[in-house]
Amino acid sequence: MAVIFAICSSKFMSSVKNLVVNIILFIMIECNAAYNVYWKRDTSPVMFGDSVNLMCMVGRQEGCDNSTTRRWDGGPNNTILLLNGHSSNATKYYEVTKDPCDNFSLVIMNFNMNDVNQEYWCSFGFETSRQNLPLDEQNFIGMPTKNNIHVSVQQWATKLDISIGFYKVFPKPKCKIKIGDEHLLIDPIKSNVSRIFINAYLHKTITISKDRCHGNVSIKCALLTTTILDITQSLNCSFSCR
């Protein structure tokens, strides 16, 4: 009896095993056949203070119906953000979608430094895409406020003194200085970082050659392709040039 029981039980166990394997296979096949969900940042460049759109791409749509759950989670408080279009905080998040089975987006309003380097995950039915939203220097811009741009151009005869400062910007600004039609070689702007924003400053004293005394000095600075400073001033070397 004991032997028979052992055989039965091992048969039983193997059939349970098969069942489990079958269920696992079934789940794997079902998942592959269902949706292939992932999200990507749909705003470029991201402007701090503006809105950012993260789009959840919903792959295949067979078998999808309007009851499939759309959901966003994560962010700085690691909470549910959106569920079927309902926002957990309507002053911060809203959903954009056309049809129940189409891609759907999380819009983050007043995007700030707490919202970056955080994980966000979108779910469509049982499929989830979980990713970090990393800060990088090619896709994010922190514009300085007017008060956070300091520029001074002073001239004493042929000595030109240029001083520029930007506070709380991202990424590090790039500046070009032109005297007449000559581009000045300048050292990279110096900077220090507070959390993610950057304080950048540049100070340069130049001696202008006499033949350029009647031209202009122009200074142009940009964050990526966004100009943040563009000034032109006429030179006046009347002390020594006349």
Ligand X SMILES: *[C@@H]1O[C@H](CO)[C@@H](O)[C@H](O)[C@H]1NC(C)=O
Which residue in the set 1, 2, 32, 66 belongs to the binding site for ligand X (CB under 6 A)? 66
Shortest Å distance, C-beta 71 to ligand X: 16
CA distance 54 to 75: 12
Shortest Å distance, C-beta 79 to ligand X: 7
Shortest Å distance, C-beta 167 to ligand X: 7
Q: Is 157 in the site for ligand X (CB under 6 A)?
A: no
Instruction: CB nearer to ligand X: give 26 or 239.
Output: 239
Part in contact with ligand X (CB under 6 A); list of ranges 1-9, 72-80, 122-130, 141-149: 72-80
Rg (CA), the chain: 30
- Name beta bridge partners: 123: 71, 128
Q: Is 234 in the site for ligand X (CB under 6 A)?
A: yes
Q: Is 86 in the site for ligand X (CB under 6 A)?
A: no
Q: Is 144 in the site for ligand X (CB under 6 A)?
A: no
Shortest Å distance, C-beta 93 to ligand X: 8
Q: Is 147 in the site for ligand X (CB under 6 A)?
A: no
Q: Is 106 in the site for ligand X (CB under 6 A)?
A: no
Residues 39-58 that bind ligand X (CB under 6 A): 57
Residue 171, preceding peptide bond in cis (omega within 30° of 0): yes
Look up tokens 């759950």; give the residue.
69
State the binding string over 192-221 for ligand X (x if CB under 6 A, else -).
x------x-x-------------xx-----
CA distance 161 to 24: 73
Given the rule CB under 6 A, which residues bind ligand X? 57, 59, 66, 75-77, 89, 91-92, 102-103, 165, 192, 199, 201, 215-216, 232, 234, 236, 238
